[in-house]
């Protein structure tokens, strides 16, 4: 499902214009991105959490050049579904 599909589904089920729904979804995503960039996690009860995970520094190999490189510690965004959400997905498949 794409963002356009989501916009169409919400517009169809609520009767709200597609442009308004699209702007709302884009603003929602911007708020989540900005929060994660600022180091704040986003918790949506019953759905899941958008969190910032820390990755430790590690040594890796560049096989094509046969060299060792160090990947510095960094942070990555992640999504952790709620327990109820996970159970629903498991039960429906």
Residue-wise pLDDT for 50-91, tens only, equals 999 999 999 999 888 889 999 999 999 999 999 999 999 999
Q: At 92, is the pLDDT very low, low, confident or very high (cuts 50, 70, 90)?
A: confident
What does pTM read for this prediction?
A: 0.79
Alpha carbons 62 and 18: distance in angstroms, whole number: 47
Contacts of residue 73, Cβ cutoff 8 Å, sequence gap at least 6: 54, 55, 56, 57
Residue 37 pLDDT > 90: yes
Fold of domain 3-91: HU Protein; Chain A (4.10.520)
């Amino acid at each position: 499902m794409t963002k356009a599909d989501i916009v169409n589904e919400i517009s169809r089920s609520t009767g709200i214009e597609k442009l308004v729904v699209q702007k709302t979804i884009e603003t929602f995503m911007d708020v989540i991105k900005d929060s994660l960039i600022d180091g704040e996690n986003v918790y949506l009860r019953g759905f899941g959490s958008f969190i910032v995970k820390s990755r430790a520094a590690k040594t890796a190999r560049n096989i094509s050049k046969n060299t060792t490189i160090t990947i510095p510690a960094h942070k990555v965004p992640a999504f952790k579904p709620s327990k109820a959400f996970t159970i629903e997905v498991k039960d429906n498949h």
